[in-house]
Amino acid sequence: MTTETRSEAASRRVLLFAGCYADAGPAIGLAVTLAQQMQAALEGVLALDPRMEAAEGAALVMAGRARGTTLALSRERLSLAYAADARAFRSRLDAAAARLSIRWSFRTDTGALPDLALGLRRPGDAVILGHRRFLPLRGPVIALEEGEDGPAARLARDLARALKLRARVLPAGTPAAALEPLAISALILPQSVQDDPARLVALIDAARCPVLLSPAG
């Protein structure tokens, strides 16, 4: 049995990374719930993909209300869009966290996900990578872990209860392609998966949902 000190509790964080506000949206509820459960501070990070720098002038196929139309990607346009997303991200975080009196902060950073997240996390931090599907699907919270009693599985059950979802545990070795047809509300990856960057990226791309990198231990 371990006893947690007050300073440890105070320094715990839930880091929510997203490349755009659209990806952050579905993850904010999860992040707030997790921060409440962990009694941790919530930190939102809007990550600017460094590849955008090189992609200036590339074709930009619009999503949202102007979906399907094409424009040329310009630095100004991108800069304005990131600023708008940052405001929306921050505002939504404020509203959700304030309601439950959770300490929160927000910032922007440059770097590709998940490398940026893995680089910034500290021991004990929970990291959520915002991602989403094209349709607002509602599915279980899935943990990839061997056995039903591991930390990822327990976390999945706790979160599912709080979010009124089902929890499901799949073997840690489940291929990424097997996640593609599933509607997943959140995917929880244990430390073992986090240590394999290529598999991590493949799983994130396949699940296309908020991905929680559970804290070590």
Partner 1 sequence: MASEPTALSPDELRRRCDPAALDFATTDDLEPLDSLIGQERAIEAIRLSAGMRHRRFNLFVLGPEGSGRHAAVARLLAEAAGERPAPDDWVYVHDFDAPDRPRALRLPRGAGPKLRRAMAELIDDLAQGIPALFESEEYQSRRAAIEEEFGGRNEKAFSELAQRARERGVAILRTPMGFALAPVKDGEVQKPEVIEKLPEAERKAIRENVAKTQEELSGFLESLPRIEKEHRAAIAALNAEMAEQVVDLNLADLRAEFAGIKALEAHFDALRKDLIANAELFLKAGSQRGEGAFPIAPAHIHDTPRFHRYAVNVMVSHAEDAIGAPVVVESLPTLSNLTGRVEYMQQMGTLVTDVTLIRPGALHKANGGYLVLDARRVLTEPFAWDALKRCLETAEIRMIGAGERLGLSATGTLEPEPVPLDLRVALVGDRFLHLLLEKHDPEFAQLFTVTAEFGPDMDRRAESMALFARQVAAVVRRECLRPVTADGVAALIEIASREADDREKLSLVLSRLWDVLREADHHAREDGAETVDRAHIEGAEAARLRRIDRVAERMQEMIARGTVMIDTRGSVVGQVNGLTVASLGAARFGWPARITARVRLGAGQVVDIEREVKLGGPIHSKGVLILSGYLSTHYLPETPLSLWASLVFEQSYGGVEGDSASVAELCALLSALAGVPLSQSLAVTGSVNQLGAVQPVGGVNEKIEGFFDACSAQGLTGRQGVLIPRRNADSLMLHADVVEAVADGRFQIHAIDHVDQALELLTGLPAGRRGLNGEFATGSVNANVEARLIDFAEARRDFGRMVAQAERRDDD
Q: By the 8 A CB rule, do 213 and 190 touch?
A: no
Interface of this chain with partner 1, residues 159 to 188, rule: CB under 8 A? 164, 166, 180-183
Q: What would the x/- binding string for partner 1 be over residues 127 to 166, using CB under 8 A?
A: ------xxxxxxxx-----------------------x-x
The burial of 203, by beta-carbon neighbours within 10 Å (0-12 exposed, 13-18 middle, 19 or more buried), is given as buried
Integer Rg of the chain from CA = 17
Q: What are 107's two structure tokens?
A: 């910032």
3-class secondary structure, 33: helix
- For the CA atoms of 4, 9, 10, 11, the dihedral, rounded to the nearest 10 degrees, stands at 100
Closer residue to partner 1 in complex, CB, 19/150: 19
Kindly indicate which of the ranges 48-56, 121-129, 144-152, 189-197 contains the residues binding partner 1, using the contact rule CB under 8 A. 48-56
Instruction: By CB under 8 A, tell whether 6 contacts partner 1.
Output: no
Binding site for partner 1 (CB under 8 A): 19-23, 49, 51-52, 54-64, 66-70, 73, 77-78, 81-82, 84-85, 99-100, 133-140, 164, 166, 180-183, 205-206, 208
